[in-house]
Structure formats: C-alpha cells, structure tokens
Amino acid sequence: MELHGLSIHETHELLSSRQLSSEELTRSYLERIQRLDPGVKSYVTISAELALEQARDADQRIKTGAGLTPLTGIPYSAKDSISTRGVKTTCSSKILETYKPFYDSTAIKKLKSTGAVLLGKTNMDEFGMGSSTENSGFFTTRNPWNFD
C-alpha cells in the first residue's frame, strides 16, 4: 500500500480503526522525504523528532478516543513563513536562518489542537516575494515531474 497516495479520509479510516498507526504513517512519510527531497528540495526544515513525538501522541489519542478528529495523526507540512514554536521558521531567508519562534501562528495552533503531525517547513521565495522558489535564500525547488 502506497501510504502517501491515500486521501486524508482514507488515512483517517485506517488510523481510527487502528489498522495503521500514526507513527508508522509518519515514518513512511519521513522515509519518502529522505529518499526524494534531495532531488526535489522542497523542505527547508524537516522536523523528524517532533513529528514522531506528535505521531505517538496522536496514537494515544486514537487509542483512548479522547479528542479524536479527522486530522488526528495525519502528517502535514507548513510553509516556511508560518510561525511554529521551537521549529526553525526562516521565511527561506539567510537572515532568519537560525530563527525559532517563541509562538505558534493561529493556523498551527488549530492544527496542533486536532492532533495533526508536522513533518517540516517547505521552501518558498524569500519572504514570499515571488511564486517559483527561484528567489529562495537557500535553493530552488524542482518539480518532481520534470527531473532530467
């Protein structure tokens, strides 16, 4: 089964019926990122330890049924401009290369409250000034369908 090809609804069904654990799902995504992202270069930051911790918490929520939502245990990525407490948020700029916010944005707070799992932060044009990542302070993201 190609876990990355499942819809959120299909994944939620597997998680809530405990046919799949969030930790197993998250490890699958992290392995895929590790394998493919060196060529695609879509991630500025991969938060593997945090993701696995959040996945284990989600598995506990699923086991007890406490606070179960349609996004509990579902992995996601956030754009590098969205503030994530304790996770590098660089806006794809070398100026903020080591910046770790002390607060979460409203979007991240809401995702955390559902039990969703943050895989990492994705590349963008520096400070959002463009739309192709050609102006990222770090690297250009490649379309995975256009590999030479």
* Tens-place pLDDT, residues 23-33: 999 999 999 99
Residue 143 maps to a domain: no
Q: Domain range spanning residue 129?
A: 22-137
| 78 in a structural domain | yes
Q: Is residue 4 part of a domain?
A: no
pLDDT at 132: 87
Residue 10 falls within a domain, yes or no? Answer: no
Q: Is residue 6 part of a domain?
A: no
pLDDT category at 85 given cuts 50, 70, 90 is: very high
Domain assignment present for residue 61? The answer is yes
Taking CB atoms within 8 Å and a gap of at least 24, the contacts of 8-12 are 8/70, 8/71, 8/74, 9/70, 11/73, 11/74, 12/70, 12/71, 12/72, 12/73, 12/74
Residue 144 lies in a domain: no
Count structural domains, the chain: 1
Is residue 103 assigned to a domain?
yes
Section 50-56 average pLDDT: 98
Q: Cα(108)–Cα(5) distance, rounded to whole angstroms?
A: 24
Tokens of 25: 């799902």
Instruction: Compute the mean pLDDT over every residue in the chain, rounded to the nearest whole number.
Output: 95
Residue 27 burial (CB < 10 Å; 0-12/13-18/19+)?
A: middle
